[in-house]
Amino acid sequence: MNLYKSFFGISFGGAMEPLYTFRTFDMELPLVNPEEADYIILGLPFDGTTSYKPGARFGPLLIRQATLNLESYVLDYDVDVAQLRIADVGDLVVMAGDVEGTLERAARTVEELREINGSALPIFLGGEHSMTYAPVRVLRPRSYVVFDAHLDLRNEYEGSLFNHACVARRIRELGVEVAIFGVRSGTKEEIEFARENNVEWVHARDYSFDAFVDLVLSLPEPIYVSVDIDVFDAPLVPETGTPEAGGLRFWDVVEALEWLTERKSIVGFDIMEVAGTEIGNVTALTAAKLLFYFLAMTAR
Ligand SMILES: [Mn+2]
């Protein structure tokens, strides 16, 4: 399909049924076309299986809007993210309430973007964590490192195998090594699945940089890295599907990502489960800040 047909905002929603919208004008970054990009950003604004707080469908929009509040210069690395070659292709056009149909669309879109530019690093903004399954299936990492309050290892939840509470299990079943950090919520069934299937996880209470490095050091590469925004302590991310007290600090995740991006080959990155309806909400500001840190640290 012709990527530029809708790029200049002319033909949204025509007969060609675009997979994504190019609705990107709020992002505080000068953008480039996907062919020339080092990073390609795609929003996955799906919230059809949300169990508690709704609004993940607005996550990508809220994150982009929150970038307007940030300086593009990241002090820590002496990097200006406005200088990076970033393509933002907008949001996937989701199929409301249809998680499997939307996952298929997301997978097709990720494949298409890989064909256009296979050397750019894909970054996804969500949207429910259920969506992470699509890029992982397409990008075929050998390991999945995830920061999450929840194990997401249920076999099924509320009648769906692709519910947000099942995503880490589905990924493990692809033969991918799974390591989960910041956990403080799970079921007995999930703990048993983890034990029987070599899924490594670190409780938020036991989390330390050393514990992180110990675990990820031996993971096979390349790695897909996922941040469920609910890994952070609830006051930092109140607008998310299932907030949990007792989470990680912002710098815990930044330091872990610094280590990963410096030492390991990363095949994809996402920030998921940002929700809400209010511009400038705290969760979106946290996510936007983390996004700028990630972009800047990979460009050090
Ligand atoms: Mn979670």
What tokens appear for 287 in the block?
């996510």
C-alpha to C-alpha distance for 297 and 291, rounded to whole angstroms? 10
Task: Flag whether 129 is marked binding.
Answer: yes
pLDDT level of residue 20 (50, 70, 90 thresholds)? low
CA of 152 relative to ligand 1 center, distance in Å: 7
- Indicate if the pLDDT at residue 24 is higher than 70: no
- Indicate if the pLDDT at residue 8 is higher than 50: no
Task: Flag whether 148 is marked binding.
Answer: yes
pLDDT of residue 54: 87
CA of 281 relative to ligand 1 center, distance in Å: 18
89-128 confidence digits (pLDDT tens): 889 999 988 999 999 999 999 999 999 999 999 999 999 9
Percent of the chain with pLDDT over 70: 91
Report the 10 Å Cβ neighbour count for 220: 12
CA of 13 relative to ligand 1 center, distance in Å: 32
Task: Flag whether 152 is marked binding.
Answer: yes
Domain boundaries, the chain: 3-298
CA of 191 relative to ligand 1 center, distance in Å: 15
Superfamily (CATH) of domain 3-298: Ureohydrolase domain (3.40.800.10)
pLDDT level of residue 27 (50, 70, 90 thresholds)? low
Q: What's the rounded mean pLDDT across residues 187-209? A: 98
Q: Are strands 200-203 and 86-91 parallel, antiparallel or unpaired?
A: unpaired
34-48 confidence digits (pLDDT tens): 999 999 999 999 998
What are 73's strand-pairing partners? Answer: 80
What are 74's strand-pairing partners? Answer: 79
- Indicate if the pLDDT at residue 205 is higher than 60: yes
Q: Report yes or no: 138 and 114 within 8 Å, Cβ to Cβ.
A: yes
pLDDT level of residue 3 (50, 70, 90 thresholds)? very low
pLDDT of residue 52: 87
What tokens appear for 171 in the block?
């990924």
CA of 246 relative to ligand 1 center, distance in Å: 13
276-298 confidence digits (pLDDT tens): 999 999 999 999 999 999 999 99
CA of 271 relative to ligand 1 center, distance in Å: 11
pTM for the structure as a whole? 0.92
Task: Flag whether 230 is marked binding.
Answer: yes
